[in-house]
Amino acid sequence: MNGREAFYLKNRLKENFYIVKSMMKPFGLGYQKINMCPNFCMLYNLENAELTKCMTYGHSHYKPIIGVGKTLAAYKKLGYFLITSTL
C-alpha cells in the first residue's frame, strides 16, 4: 500500500448521513438543509429561496405533486455543516 492509498482509506466519507450527524452532534456543530437545482447550477438559499424555477436552465425547484395533501419536495438537497460558527 502506498501513501496515497493510505491517505484515502483514512479519510473516507461515511456512507450514511445519519452517521455523520451523530458524529458531529457531540461537538455542537449543526447543519442546514439547502435545496439545490438537479443540474447542480444553483442553490435555493437566501435571496433565491422563494424561486420556483432554476435561473439557468428553467428546471422546476420541486418534484411534481401526485395525490391529495402532499407537500412540496425538492429534487436535490445539500447538507451544509456549519463549522465556522464555532471556531
73-81 mean pLDDT? 84
Do residues 39 and 54 lie in contact, with contact meaning Cβ atoms separated by under 8 Å?
yes
The pTM of this model reads 0.60
pLDDT score for 3: 47
Assess if residue 22 is contained within a domain.
yes
Assess if residue 33 is contained within a domain.
yes
Assess if residue 50 is contained within a domain.
yes
Our count of domains for the chain comes to: 1
**Band of the pLDDT at 87, cuts 50, 70, 90?**
low
CA 60 to chain centre: 17
pLDDT score for 82: 72
Assess if residue 4 is contained within a domain.
no
Query: In this predicted model, what pLDDT tens digit does every residue of 7-58 receive, in sequence order?
Result: 455 555 556 677 777 777 777 777 788 999 988 889 998 899 899 899 999 9
Assess if residue 69 is contained within a domain.
yes
Assess if residue 8 is contained within a domain.
no
* Angstrom distance (rounded) from CA 56 to CA 44: 12
Assess if residue 62 is contained within a domain.
yes
**Band of the pLDDT at 5, cuts 50, 70, 90?**
low
Domain range for 31 is: 16-86
